[in-house]
Amino acid sequence: MKRRLEITAEPIDEAVLLRERSISRSMGAVVYFLGVVRGTEAGTNISALDYEAFQRMAEHQISLLFDELEKRWPLESVRLVHRVGVVKVSEPSLWVEVAAPHRGEAFAACQWLIDQLKQVAPIWKKPVAGDSPLATGL
Amino acid sequence: MRVTVGFYSWFKDLTGCGRLTETLPAGSTVDELLQRLIVRFPELSAAQRSTLIAVGVDYQDRRCVLKEGDEVSLFPPVQGG
């Protein structure tokens, strides 16, 4: 299974990620997920989320998830990009893609990976209020 | 033995630091380290039950026996994705 993992402070460029997609003739399904920052957090309006990661551990833990993915489903590839730092509302913070022979396994694998990521990856988010200096700098 | 301790997310605010070095008796466990840290930073006590602990880049439970040079990380429940 081909793997690509990035934890980056750079904006997630969906167009580039889509252009870089490479799948073989035997793949019939590509499922991808884009997580974006919602405008509210715990009922309060926000302008952004400030993501922090324990990067080395997050990379290791996500690699372990990739190992488990490979055991569970016949995927050809997985790509995951998680942004860190300040991410504005409606901007992407997470991009996940899997390629599989059939849609059932592609949907299941993608959902599983995201659910597990949320439980194990040492990444945290702090809401940025609209009047915060972090927000005005955006 | 000496271990380094790293704090992440709002635990950095609770302790006022991101990283420190702690000297412990050889054979100390993660829990013994945690109890020492709570004496030093009483604010950690309220978060004790939900505190996640890693040694190196792997999660460990509080019975884990530490060794010289271990990097221990303490943080609140994760929120990635």
Give the pLDDT of residue A48: 96
Do the chains contact at B79 and A58, CB–CB below 8 Å? no
Domain ranges of chain B: 2-75
Q: Class for domain B2-75, per CATH?
A: alpha beta
pLDDT digits (tens, 9 = 90+) for A114-138: 999 999 999 999 999 876 666 655 5
Look up the ipTM and state it.
0.93
Distance from CA of B75 to the nearest CA of A (A): 8
Nearest-Cα residue of chain B relative to residue A56: B57
Give the pLDDT of residue B81: 84
More confident residue, A131 or A108: A108
Domains of chain A listed by start with CATH number: 2-136 (3.90.1170.40)
Question: What tokens does A50 get?
Answer: 């400030």
